[in-house]
Chain A
Amino acid sequence: MKSFENIDAKSVKEAVGLLSKFHQQKKLAAVVGGGSEFLQLMKDHVVEPDYVINLKTIPGLDYIREERGGFRIGALAKLADIEEHAAIRDKLLILAAAAGDAASPQIRNAGTIAGNLCQRPFCWYFRSSNFTCLRKGGQSCFTVTGDGRFHAILGAGPSYIVHPSDTAPALVALGAQIKIAGPAGEKNIPLEKFFLLPSVDYRRENILNPGEIVTEIFVPMPKAGSKGFHHKLRERQAWDHAIVAVDTIVESSGGVVRNAHVVMGGVAPIPWRATKAEEFLRGKKLDEASAKQAGELALEGAKPLKDNVYKIKLAQELIQRGLLASV
């Protein structure tokens, strides 16, 4: 690991200020929350910052607050706290479940929600110091001719990573907002718009510009009559990334869908919203046939690599299962 200087930030303003300052000085600086992912990136020489700005020293940024319209979750709230939060378990169960499915208990006790949303891909080429891949400034994405069994089938190219976050698809399904602080002040945007496709920029996974950090997630209260579903398919039962994850929120009455959100993890470089399926479901009665058709529509246009064709069927069937569980 390259040596670096650690700076304990005392406020969001200070952190943003430091980031901007180092950026202007052409120094490499990065923020860390729990450090659970960042440390590994440094050890693997994926990022080698000159300065590491520690956000954990900012007081009061780890809140989880229930308000009338929804939940406010501070950037430093830990995954374990979200997983175990009684009101979240009561009202946003898919978020609690998704947070509880991430990584391992040790990592969830250290890892923050912002860190979870901003984590870098867990692609074995990207993480290996033996490969200089497209995302690290190299010439190509090695999965194209290499081994891409865990990689993207939707929305990919020229890079084929899948977004590794388990909380992201759940939060997108719930219609969450993300608050970003930067040199020009604060802004709120839909979380869905936070993530970037590689066709837009294959060097980063989200829209954060130098000097910007995530400060809060807001999750609106689901509408009455909504039912959620979260399921993550993986090879082993803990400490494993999703092969396919599905998060759905279905608002219905009398078995007829008013509004559906269908989001997949593990299949695309961003949490993948199946908008075609969502549109199809509106006004439909949910049964075997419509759920199956929604699953098929969700995977329409999938372009698997040679090693990950199996993900299509898995995702289709999991969506079907999720929708049927939502009525």
Chain B
Amino acid sequence: MANSTTAKPSVLRVVGSSVTRVDGHAKVTGTADFSGDRLSDGQLVFGKTLRSPYASAEIVSIDTSKAQALPGVHAVITYRDAPEIPFEAGDDSEPTAPVAPVYLLNRFLRHAGDEVAAVAAESEAIAEEALELIQVGYRVLPFVLDENDALKPAAPSVRGGTNLAGAEPIDFSRGDIARGMKEAELVVERTYRTQSTSPLALEPRYAVASWQGDRLTVWKASRNVHGDRDKLARIFELPHDQVRVVAAYLGGGFGSKDETRLGHLTALLARKAGRPVRMGYTREEELGFGKWRHASTTTLRAGLKRDGSFTAIDTTSTLNTGPYAPGYGVASRLGHGLTYLYKCANARFVGKVAYTNAPVAGSYRGLGAPQAHFALESFADEIAEQLAIDPLEYRLRHCVGIDGQPGVRVTAEDELIPSQPIEGGVPFSSNLLTRCLEEGAKRIGWQPRPNGPRKRLVNGKFRGMGLAACIYKTGQSQSSSIVKIKADGSAELFMSIAEIGQGAWTVLRQIAAETLGVPFDKVHATFADTDKTPFAHSTSGSTTTFTSGLAVEQAAGDAKQRLLEAAAKILETDPDKVIWRDDFVAINDAPEIRIPLAHVMRRQPEQVIAGEAKLRAGSKSHIINSFAAHFAEVEVDPDSGAVCVLRYVAAHDSGRIVHPEAARGQIAGGVVQGIGYALMEEIPMDPDTGMPLTLNLDSFKIPNLIDTPPIEIILVEEPDPIGPYGAKALGEPPLVPVAAAIANAVNDATGVRIRELPITAEKVLNALRSLPI
């Protein structure tokens, strides 16, 4: 945990104000270099990937001679060129039970779209033409696409072992489920399903790889330059300092762009071609093979008292992870949502991650939390209805409070409390969920409805309102920061953090400026270049402002303290008597005695004073979580079943808001993504081939402007005692509760309960038809 070396000022100058974003000018003027913009790297040639038409197949023959002979082709790679070092999809998650190892390219193809070969050529058009000249003989094998089918005994094995990743389910619990169920006055059980969908960042990803002898430079759309470097070094058997990874501006991430597969293939092609190679994904590849959100099936079984309080919650989820990179982290986040939002002494989560021949699932904003919240917050409404309690009242009474869950702490006293705990007995550092619920309800005009759905008709259409609460981890990650103070009174910050549109490059500078006591525009920065910036984990998991914010705060505090100490020596006084203003230092009670910073710096190496921090963020005494309450008003067309969201209110507790405009942008964006997830996004696969069908934006539907309601945002702002200047997570939470809020509103409007996303017109209509009138 961070220990600031400087006291926090009571009045903030920079943190909390919407300063002009540092990436804004470059982006709106078109000068920002995105990953696909590197087109003039001297000798650059262009890569394209050949993908499997089958969900499961063995390559029995592959002839690349014709492709190689095509004029303009520089290299063709197949599984024969892949280094013999196992390479999972390049994720953090590696298989934990024996399975067939996979390499960068493989003889066995395990999903439609799996990589067969890649070509580098003078132009993308030639590369594409060359792909068609590669002759591949496939032996088509049986496959399984659905997560539940995959776990049946007769299912074809995806990875040569059991399709249950890790062979055992994830299983965590607190208390005693059996005892809790015994105490119950009623037991409710329901199953909910969620679909596969794609993060669909605006910018399709690219990588440019170039070799200078044995030194490799990869310039790519990356949220994790150090992770990329580690994996490139491992696969190409290079010392770390021979690999440099630089992140471009990212046109959105939403979970994508944390993989290393594209960078690796590009590097392999470049090595064989002897030329720098640029390769990227088309929109189709992004949609189909850029890693999906895990489809899931969740069964919830609750033991309850008549007042609606939980005596036990027993939860099981099965996740569709595709053939590679088992999503244990996704499952755990699902489990956290399911077991921690409601007060309950006895809770259990069993997570089954299933290997299938569907395209690979990976991280997508919120990981398993949107799946969990759709299930749990639909379930809570179903329980409230059964017990004749108003849904808002139900949350106010039974959601977890600041004192946390009942039970006993399991984490050792001197260890950090996990950000997604299962144990009870640990309080939250802050928890304003009640205020989110109350203020959101007031804004939307919530009317208590203890008697279930109201099925109101307004202008010939059903109209209803729904809400959902949200709990989300504030990531505890690792980061480091270097802050250098220069003679002119400016500072430079060095960090391995990616700007994915979330505003990190602005926010981290704000924190540095605040801590140093200098104006915002005096802080310059270098980000995400492994040759220049110190280690950090990936820019992910709603952790950047929190973890990296603490790192900057600490490094800036350290730098300032060193400056004051150096100045104190010259001024022959104590460091706490020294003040720093602009480009000079002075003695506090004798401000006429001042010396230029340059004078202090003259004695320093490189004429700068540097502060450093390297930390794993967190708390040994408290859980640090963010909270939210979302409210939706919807209209349902009784003739078609089509759902239209009329109004939306999102109230968030994310501690202190460092940059209000950026925060509002995060929330609005998350809500829109959530509406797509709730109502239309889906990637069906052809049942006969396993090929995804919606690989274009005319068939993969996301909300248009006209499908997007006015979104009212409430920032329930109270500084958290642990985060930097009181900040907590905000990146992912805005998408997390949306689907449940909409499902609950559809239920209020129509009486129909849709337990499978997306809530399409067809499903609503079919359910309306089967309702007793």
Q: Are A313 and B765 in contact (CB under 8 A)?
A: yes
Pairwise interchain contact B693-A310, C-beta atoms closer than 8 A: no
Nearest A residue (CB) for B684: A147
B760, closest chain A residue (CB): A235
- Find chain A residues with CB under 8 A from B689 CB: 130-131
**Which of B644, B707, B760, B762: most chain A CB closer than 10 A?**
B762
Q: Does A238 contact B (CB under 8 A)?
A: yes
Residues of A within 8 A of B501 (CB): none
Q: Which of A1, A147, A235, A237 contacts B687 (CB 8 A)?
A: A147
A236 touches B701 (CB 8 A): yes
Task: Give B77 Cβ to nearest chain A Cβ, in Å.
Answer: 22
Is A56 engaged at the interface, CB distance under 8 Å to the other chain? no
Is B699 among interface residues, defined by CB-CB distance under 8 A?
Answer: yes
Q: How far is the CB of A255 from chain B (nearest CB, A)?
A: 23
Most buried by A among B687, B696, B766: B696
Do the beta carbons of B112 and A130 come within 8 Å of each other?
Answer: yes
Known A-B contacts A236-B680, A236-B703, A310-B762; A145 and B640 likewise in contact (beta carbons under 8 Å): no
CA distance A310 to B769 in the complex (A): 10
Q: Which chain B residues border A234 with CB–CB below 8 Å? A: 642
Residue-wise interface mask of B (678-721) relative to A, using a CB-CB cutoff of 8 A (1 in contact, 0 not): 01100011111101011110110101111100000000000000
Determine whether the beta carbon of A128 is less than 8 Å from that of B706: no
B639 within 8 A of A: yes
Give the chain A neighbours of B765 by CB distance below 8 A.
Answer: 310, 313-314
The answer to whether A233 touches B640, judged by C-beta atoms less than 8 angstroms apart, is: yes
User: Are B707 and A237 interface neighbours, CB within 8 A?
Assistant: yes
Count of inter-chain pairs, beta carbons less than 8 A: 85
Chain B residue contacts of A237, Cβ below 8 A: 644, 704, 706-707
Q: How far apart are B684's CB and chain A's nearest CB, in angstroms?
A: 5
Q: Do the beta carbons of B125 and A130 come within 8 Å of each other?
A: no
A37-B698 Cα distance, complex, nearest whole Å: 11
Question: 1/0 per residue A207-250: CB within 8 Å of B?
Answer: 00000000000000000000000000111111111010000000
CA gap between A122 and B761 in the complex, in Å: 20
Chain B residues positioned under 8 Å from A317 (CB to CB): 639
Interface string of A24-52 (1 = CB under 8 A from B): 00000000000000001000100000000
- Known interface pairs A145-B687, A147-B693, A236-B704. Does A122 touch B642 (Cβ–Cβ under 8 Å)? no
Interface residues in A113-139 by Cβ distance below 8 A to B read: 122, 124-125, 127-128, 130-131
Residues B698 and A122 in contact, CB atoms below 8 Å apart: yes
Nearest-CB residue, chain B, relative to A321: B639
B669 at the interface (CB under 8 A from A): no
| Contact of B169 with A by CB under 8 A | no
In the complex, the answer to whether B691 meets A130 with C-beta atoms within 8 Å is yes
CB pair B639 A238 closer than 8 Å: no
- The listed residue (B112, B642, B686) touching A147 by CB distance below 8 A is B686
Known contacts A127-B696, A233-B640, A236-B707; A146 and B761 CB within 8 A of each other: no
A142 close to chain B: CB less than 8 A: yes
Decide yes or no whether A318 CB sits under 8 A from chain B. Answer: yes
Q: Which of B35-51 contact A (CB under 8 A)?
A: none
Closest CB of chain B to A315's CB: distance in Å? 11
Instruction: Give Cα A233–Cα B641 distance, bound, in whole angstroms.
Output: 10
A-side contacts of B679, CB under 8 Å: 235-236
Number of interface residues of A (CB under 8 A): 33
Chain A residue at minimal CB-CB distance from B697: A239
In chain A, residues 293-327, which have Cβ atoms closer than 8 Å to a Cβ of chain B?
A: 310, 313-314, 317-318, 321
Contact B693 A128 (CB under 8 A): yes
Q: How large is the interface on B (under 10, 10 to 19, 20 to 34, 35 or more residues)?
A: 20 to 34
User: Cα distance A3–B701 when bound, in Å?
Assistant: 30
Contact in complex: A149, B687 (CB < 8 Å): no
Find out whether the CB atom of A130 lies under 8 angstroms from the CB atom of B53.
yes
Complex interface residues of chain B between 216 and 247 (CB less than 8 A to chain A) = none
Cα A235 to Cα B693 in complex, Å, equals 17
CB-based contact A146/B686 at 8 Å: yes
Residue among B125, B689, B691, B693 with the most chain A CB within 10 A? B693
Q: What residues of chain B lie closer than 8 Å to A128, measured between beta carbons?
A: 691, 693, 695
Question: Which residues of A sit under 8 angstroms from B701, Cβ to Cβ?
Answer: 235-236, 240
Bound-state Cα–Cα, A314 to B769, Å: 11
Considering only residues 756-773 of chain B, those with a C-beta below 8 Å from chain A are 760-762, 765-766, 769
Nearest-neighbor residue (CB-CB) of A308 within chain B: B762
Bound together, the chains give a CA A154 to CA B695 distance in angstroms of 27
- Tell whether, in the assembled complex, residue B640 and residue A314 are in contact, meaning their CB atoms are under 8 Å apart: yes
B629-652 interface (Cβ within 8 A of A): 639-640, 642, 644
A124 contacts B761, CB within 8 Å? no
B694 and A124 contacting across the interface, CB-CB below 8 Å:
yes
With CB as the reference atom, state the residue of chain B lying closest to A150.
B699
Which residues of chain B are near A146, meaning CB under 8 Å?
686-688
The CA of A236 and the CA of B699, in the complex, are separated in Å by 11
Please tell me if the beta carbons of A142 and B688 are within 8 angstroms of each other in the complex. yes
Residues in chain A near residue B706, CB distance under 8 A: 236-238
Kindly provide the distance from the CB of B124 to the nearest chain A CB, expressed in whole angstroms: 10
CB-defined contacts of B644 to chain A, threshold 8 Å: 237
Q: Report chain B residues within 8 Å CB of A239.
A: 698, 704
Taking the nearest CB of chain B, how far is it from the CB of A314, in angstroms? 6
Complex Cα gap A149–B687 (Å): 13
Q: State in angstroms the CA–CA spacing of A127 and B693 once bound together.
A: 10
Interchain CA distance A125-B640 in the complex, whole Å: 25
Cβ distance B683 to chain A, nearest Cβ, rounded Å: 11
Q: Which listed residue, B691, B699, B703, B766, touches A310 by the CB 8 Å rule?
A: B766
Query: What is the bound-complex CA distance between A130 and B359, given in angstroms?
Result: 15
Contact status A235-B639, CB under 8 Å: no
Smallest beta-carbon distance B5→chain A, Å: 53
Contact residues in B for A122 (Cβ distance below 8 Å): 698-699
B680-A238 in contact (CB<8A): no
B687: nearest chain-A partner, CB-CB:
A146
Question: Across the interface, do B691 and A238 meet the contact criterion of CB distance under 8 Å?
Answer: no
Compute how far the CA of A78 lies from the CA of B689 in the bound complex, rounded to whole angstroms.
39
What residues of chain B lie closer than 8 Å to A233, measured between beta carbons? 639-640, 642, 761
What CA separation (Å) do A122 and B769 show in the bound complex? 29
Distance (Å) between the CB of A27 and the closest chain B CB? 19
Interface residues of B in 735-773 (CB under 8 A from A): 760-762, 765-766, 769
Q: B457 CB to closest chain A CB, in angstroms?
A: 16
Distance (whole angstroms) from the CB of A322 to the closest CB of chain B: 11
CB neighbours of B760 from chain A (8 A):
235
Name the residue on B nearest A127 (C-beta).
B696
Cα A66 to Cα B25 with chains together (Å): 50
Q: Is the CB of A238 within 8 A of B762?
A: no
Q: Contacts of B769 on A, CB cut-off 8 Å? A: 313
Residues of chain B with a CB closer than 8 A to A236's CB: 679-680, 701, 703-704, 706-707
CB atoms of A243 and B761 under 8 A apart: yes
Q: Which of A235, A239, A313, A318 has the most CB of B within 10 A?
A: A235
Residues of A within 8 A of B761 (CB): 233, 235, 243
Nearest CB of B to A136, in Å: 14
Q: How far is B695's CA from A240's CA once the two chains are assembled, in angstroms?
A: 15
Contact residues in B for A149 (Cβ distance below 8 Å): 684, 762
CA distance A241 to B696 in the complex (A): 14
- Which single member of B125, B687, B691 contacts A3 (CB below 8 Å)? B125
CA distance A39 to B56 in the complex (A): 32
User: Chain A: which residue is nearest B685 at the CB level?
Assistant: A147
Chain B nearest CB: distance from A254 CB in Å? 27
How many Å lie between the Cα of A47 and that of B704 in the bound state?
29
Chain A to chain B: the 7 pairs with minimum beta-carbon distance, closest first = A124-B693, A233-B640, A237-B706, A238-B704, A238-B706, A146-B686, A310-B762
- Sample 11 A-B pairs with CB under 8 A, ordered by A number: A3-B125, A124-B693, A127-B698, A128-B695, A147-B685, A237-B644, A237-B706, A238-B705, A243-B640, A310-B762, A310-B766
Interface residues of A (CB under 8 A from B): 1, 3, 40, 44, 104, 122, 124-125, 127-128, 130-131, 142, 145-147, 149, 233-241, 243, 310, 313-314, 317-318, 321
Given contacts A130-B112, A237-B707, A238-B706, 18 further A-B contacts (CB under 8 A): A3-B125, A44-B696, A127-B698, A131-B686, A146-B687, A146-B688, A147-B684, A147-B685, A147-B686, A147-B693, A235-B642, A235-B761, A236-B679, A236-B704, A237-B704, A239-B698, A313-B765, A313-B769
